[in-house]
Amino acid sequence: MPIIDDENQTYDAGLSTRFNEHFFSLTNGNITDSEGNLWYLSQEYELANFVALLETNIGIPMGRVVHNSAADSLEIILQPFESMSFGIFAKKNRLKFLNGLWDIFGWGEFNLKNNSITTDVFPAIVSGFYLSYYEHYFATRAKIQWRQIQDTMITCEVTNLDKPLTKPPKLPNMPWSQSNNLRDKGQMLMLEKRSVGWSIDGKSSYVLPCDMINRIIYNSGGYTDTYNKSLDDVWQINGIDNRYVTSIVCVLQSFKQLFIASDVYVFLSENNNWSEIINSHLGPFGLGSVKYIDSSNGIDKFAVELNANAILIIGKLAGLWERANGKQSVCFIDLTDTEFKIKIESLLSYN
């Protein structure tokens, strides 16, 4: 899995060192950068498939929503570097620094001179990241149009705007989105360099900011007429601002379906080894801040910390439950002041 300790495994030592100096892989299963932002690991076609599933569940095209969400999330991450001093060759050194970040994120390469991106990341999202880079580097607002011309090649048309760089808004009434994460060194990730980006265990991989998912929820919160209303039967949510419930349900369902569509095997023992399952299938991807509580009468209970990765965790956890039990589930989510309380049981038993 993503955390490797094998002398025979080929990996790029320099790239792995730079990644592990920038990120902190914590013992509680989070991936945190030096500023306390949470990230998660995505592999191969998961991101594109997630967007496709989300569009189906919410009933509208989501390209512009995910683009704007990606741009805002990365803009916030880049803000602490605006005041960083880069010496006498500031422009050149700042660009070198930004290129280094892009590289360790696993997003391939970008070129500010011809506005092109070479990447495996979903075009609408990576062009949002590129827009944030462009605005950060040139200190100006801009608008962008992107076009995928090859499998890994995207070209952009960027137009500067006469507008000030204002900070993207905080997400109101999302207590899980404002977590302040402690930073501590845990296990290290070993990365294999590819012609585009990097891989782990031979799978094309990259990290994504968890804030992007919460901004997708925020930016699509008003779409209440088009979504798949049958999803209300399998997601029972309490304590969350009503404006977000529909978009959260659609994001949760999309992450659940994304895992179910994979070929990953989940073994659930008679002793309900959920802690081992969490450590194996969630922790290595930056989604491990969830605890198994207990099981009784066919109901499994969990607690998820109020962190920016909480919605991703709950969605994939439901997918793990269905894969382990071979049954469709109903998931009860209760937001409290300190955590998400989760109960999962068979939908057939519940009905």
* pLDDT one-digit tens code per residue, 206-261: 999 999 999 999 999 877 788 989 999 999 999 999 999 999 999 999 999 999 99
Residue appearing with tokens 């949510």: 237
Distances in Å between the Cα of 333 and the Cα atoms of 75, 217, 309 are 31, 16, 15
Domain 223-350 CATH assignment equals 1.10.10:
no
Q: What is the pLDDT of residue 344?
A: 97
Show me where the domains of the chain are located: 13-213, 223-350
The first and second tokens of residue 105, run together, are 């994120």
Number of neighbours of residue 186 by Cβ within 10 angstroms: 17
- Regions of the chain with pLDDT less than 50: 1-5, 8
The sign of the CA dihedral 169, 171, 176, 177 is negative
Q: Rounded to an integer, what distance in angstroms lies between the CA atom of residue 225 and that of residue 269?
A: 41
The first and second tokens of residue 65, run together, are 């929503």
**Going by C-beta distance under 8 Å and a sequence separation of 6 or more, which residues neighbour residue 321?**
300, 329, 331, 344
Distances in Å between the Cα of 148 and the Cα atoms of 143, 145, 247, 286 are 17, 10, 28, 29
Polymer length of the chain: 351
Q: Rounded to an integer, what distance in angstroms lies between the CA atom of residue 275 and that of residue 288?
A: 10
Q: Rounded to an integer, what distance in angstroms lies between the CA atom of residue 350 and that of residue 331?
A: 10
> In the chain, what percentage of residues exceed pLDDT 90?
76
Q: Rounded to an integer, what distance in angstroms lies between the CA atom of residue 286 and that of residue 164?
A: 34
* CA geometry: angle 2, 286, 283, nearest 5 deg: 70
- The pTM score is 0.94
The sign of the CA dihedral 25, 181, 207, 235 is positive
Q: Rounded to an integer, what distance in angstroms lies between the CA atom of residue 320 and that of residue 31?
A: 20
